[in-house]
Amino acid sequence: MKAPEKIYINDFGSELSYDWYTEHCYEKDIEYIRTDAFIEKAVKFLDGCIPDYMELKHANIDTFMDIDNERFIEDFKNYMKGE
């Protein structure tokens, strides 16, 4: 069985008991997300928009910019994993 992408912890003020659910139930729920699910979602966003955030200032006809998306994404994944 694979762990759910997110779980929600209900802490009712007792150090001895808490409940967890796979759906948001209470306003004070604490949301936890699997690290791999978080990284995958962030990579999907970054991979689709990196060039959109690049801006050339004072560009002329000879200006060329190459972005190594694959290297950036791998470096980001490793950083998020703490490697």
pTM: 0.60
3-state SS string for 29-41: CEEEECHHHHHHH
Question: Do 23 and 44 belong to one domain?
Answer: no
Question: Do 28 and 48 belong to one domain?
Answer: no
The pLDDT assigned to 69 comes to 82
Question: Do 61 and 76 belong to one domain?
Answer: yes
Domain extent, residue 23, equals: 1-33
Cα–Cα distance list, 20 to 5, 12, 28, 37 (Å)? 13, 11, 12, 18
Residues 26-73 pLDDT 10s: 788 888 888 888 898 899 888 878 777 776 666 666 666 677 888 888
Beta-carbon contacts of residue 30 (< 8 Å; ≥ 6 apart):
8, 9, 11
**Partner residues linked to 21 by β-bridges:** 8
Confidence class for position 2, pLDDT limits 50, 70, 90:
confident
pLDDT over 80 at 75, yes or no? yes
Number of domains into which the chain is organized: 2
Question: Do 79 and 43 belong to one domain?
Answer: yes
**For residue 13, what are its two tokens?**
């003020």
Question: Do 38 and 26 belong to one domain?
Answer: no
Question: Do 64 and 50 belong to one domain?
Answer: yes
